[in-house]
Structure 1
Amino acid sequence: MRTNMRITMNDLNRETLQHNRLPDLVLDKLMEWIMSGKLLMGDKLNTEELATQLGVSRMPIREALSNLEKMGLAESIPYAGTRLVTLTKDDVRQIYIARTALEPVAARYACAKITDKQIEDLRRIQEEYKQIVSHDELDAVDVYQHNRLYHFSIYKASGLSRVCAMIESLWDNLSFFKLIYGQKLLDSKESRDSMIAEHQSYLDALERRDSDLIFQLLECNLKKRAEHIPYNSDAYFHEK
């Protein structure tokens, strides 16, 4: 039977919790615990316990938990409360298979519709991404958010709003895995250069308006992700 790791009051400096920013600060702290491994997949998030541990009222806790749900990191279960999501290796594989079916199509349509201004915005996002991954110590949340911004700046240029909504849902479902694994994916200069080059290849294809190329690039890269999932359960779950 699993046991949840109790987080002590010492983990949070109460003096930093300014009243008007409490929900954001609570969310930041929960994200910090997820990234550090103090909170893992399947852990129950009890509003009253968290309020006591953090020394705040239940309202900012509820708002922070709601934001975790919107990010795809938590889920509300009837009669059980809120828990962090649980993803098996097969769950991750299936999500990548679905992404492989949708994202290359959205990129192909984007290639035909994208404007020069949207391409210029992508160049800027790419430069910001390069700066972020060049730091000695990566902020996994920042890396994840900029990577997501880059991809959706492409997909939304397609004008396929329903397809983009389905892709966004898949990214939400995968976000816990991506946040934890993202730290390991970019743990060397070689891996960081590879991700930058991957992004640049999409940008080059868009600039050339080569819809077949960007379709092939995305399909190939996503298939590789689906086939080679670096999944170590110890990184996501507490020991049973």
Structure 2
Amino acid sequence: MARWDEAPVERPRMSDAAYERLKDAIVSGEFAPGEKIRDSEVAQRLGLSRTPVREALTRLADTGLVEAKPGVYTRITTLNRHDVAATLVVLRSLDELAVRTGVPHMTTDHIDRMRRANEDFAHAVDQHDITGAFAADDAFHGVAIDAAGNPVLRRVIDQLHPQVHRILYRKFSTLLGGHDTVDHHTKLTELCANGDADGAAGLSAEHWAHLGGLIDELFASDDLDESSA
């Protein structure tokens, strides 16, 4: 992953580009938890005016990656065990809903996309390509969201994903280094191909519960909770 300030941002959709650049930097740890951000400095380093940077920071606050106290500070949020657990519970329910409502509308094209995304994911895991793994995993689960045809569902899921990515990035080898997720994707794809909406939704929920357990172990054993930092 290139440094977030490596090159000036092109003018079209400047706030979107600034948001993506800053989000990736927070997820990858280039910005430390609790670190203060000054929009003027970020704007200068990205070659932008302060307005699109402020807009990007507002969106990052909505995702929970940034917290702000007007007139006092804007800073990177710390990792908090309770908040992460709450996010996972919501994501589990939303993903289960996406699968349950999306499967009846899936076509052979949807299934092909799931298989290709899983192949990309497996390759990224083998190469220890964290960014590629996130992109492929999002693409895989995005197929069910597309099939569900619910734009509100997609918007909320997209808003919550970065918080989970932030932890997975820090502990990629522990959580994504094996092939358990690849196997899960394979089984889920076959259930979707067979039109088993209930079975696919149940398997999806089980996987999120397993992921939540792994993350909980990290907080318990590796002092991942930074809320007191």
Same fold (TM over 0.5): yes
Q: Which runs of 4+ in 1 moved over 6 A?
A: none
AA aligned to 2:169 is L
Which of 154, 165, 169 is matched with 1:179 structurally? 169
Residue 84 of structure 2 corresponds to residue 84 of structure 1 = no
The alpha carbon displacement at 1:210 in A equals: 1.1
Which of 205, 214, 223 is matched with 1:219 structurally? 205
CA contact 1:46–1:82 (8 Å) conserved in 2? yes
The alpha carbon displacement at 1:111 in A equals: 1.1
What is the aligned-residue RMSD (CA, Å)?
3.6
CA contact 1:107–1:154 (8 Å) conserved in 2? yes
Q: 1:85-140 CA deviation, whole Å, 9 max, x = no partner? A: 333111111111122222212201111111111212222222222221121x42x2
2:121 alignment partner in structure 1: 129
1:170 alignment partner in structure 2: 160
Pick closer, same or farther for the CA change 1:134–1:157 going to 2, 3 Å.
Answer: same
May I ask how many residue pairs the two structures share in their alignment? Answer: 220
Pick closer, same or farther for the CA change 1:74–1:141 going to 2, 3 Å.
Answer: farther
**Distance between the aligned counterparts of 2:43 and 2:156, measured in 1?**
34
Identity %: 20
Pick closer, same or farther for the CA change 1:116–1:224 going to 2, 3 Å.
Answer: same
**Distance between the aligned counterparts of 2:95 and 2:185, measured in 1?**
14
Q: 1:136-182 CA deviation, whole Å, 9 max, x = no partner? A: x42x2332222112112212211233333333333244343333233
AA aligned to 1:134 is D
2:132 alignment partner in structure 1: 142
2:98 alignment partner in structure 1: 106
Pick closer, same or farther for the CA change 1:181–1:160 going to 2, 3 Å.
Answer: same
The alpha carbon displacement at 1:78 in A equals: 2.2
Pick closer, same or farther for the CA change 1:111–1:33 going to 2, 3 Å.
Answer: closer
AA aligned to 2:78 is T
Residue 42 of structure 2 corresponds to residue 42 of structure 1 = no
Unmatched runs of 5 consecutive residues or more in structure 1 = 1-11
Secondary structure in 2 aligned to 1:93? helix
Pick closer, same or farther for the CA change 1:239–1:149 going to 2, 3 Å.
Answer: same
Secondary structure in 2 aligned to 1:82? strand
AA aligned to 1:214 is A
| 1:47-86 alignment runs, 5 A limit | 47-50=39-42, 54=45, 59=50, 65=57, 73-86=65-78
Pick closer, same or farther for the CA change 1:33–1:111 going to 2, 3 Å.
Answer: closer
